[in-house]
Amino acid sequence: MKVRKTELEGVLVIEPDVFDDRRGFFLETYNQNRYREHAIQAHFVQDNMSFSTKGTLRGLHYQYPMAQAKLVQVVQGEVFDVAVDIRRGSPTFGRWIGENLSDKNKKQLFIPEGVAHGFCVLSDSALFHYKCSDFYAPQHEGGILWSDPDLAIDWPVQSPVVSDKDGALPCLKDISADQLPLFKNHHG
């Protein structure tokens, strides 16, 4: 498998090894030993799947203090996947990266604890699967408005379909610092 670092520390783009033949394909979506070789130390405890139609935008979500690392992948369709660094003290605080994930490119995105996540659906529909390193805890869920002008995320949809809950999320600057995770430098 190929692993590419992004400008946000700990956020990785993963291209699993895919074995194609006339019958179809096979790939490992997760192998603890192999992923640990690439510094992905998360211990996953919950798997989730969502189905969304074209133009749907979900996010930007995070949990704190029960922070979750996530390993995300599109099983069917295509999405524009976004990670936003919201870790206090991080050199890339408030910056984002985006990556197209699809059933064709089979890429995954690893999102470490303390990084908010969201995606918008580019295909007619998308089946989205993700592993989490902690259990869902509604009392600890947080979020940032998808259209936060300070983040200036270049979403590839003009008028996304957003839940009432996601449409009412605050901008990052309006979230109290004590409600945001702390940056932990894993490389020194």
Q: Which residues are marked as active site?
A: 61, 130
DSSP the chain: -EEEE-SSTT-EEEE--EEEETTEEEE-S--HHHHHTTT------EEEEEEEETTBEEEEEEESSS---EEEEEEESEEEEEEEE--BT-TTTT-EEEEEEETTT--EEEE-TTEEEEEEE-SSEEEEEEEESS---GGGEEE--TT-TTT----S-SS-B--HHHHTPPPGGGS-GGGSPBP--S--
Distance between CA 84 and CA 93 in Å, rounded?
8
Distance between CA 128 and CA 179 in Å, rounded?
28
> Which amino acid is located at 91 in the chain?
P
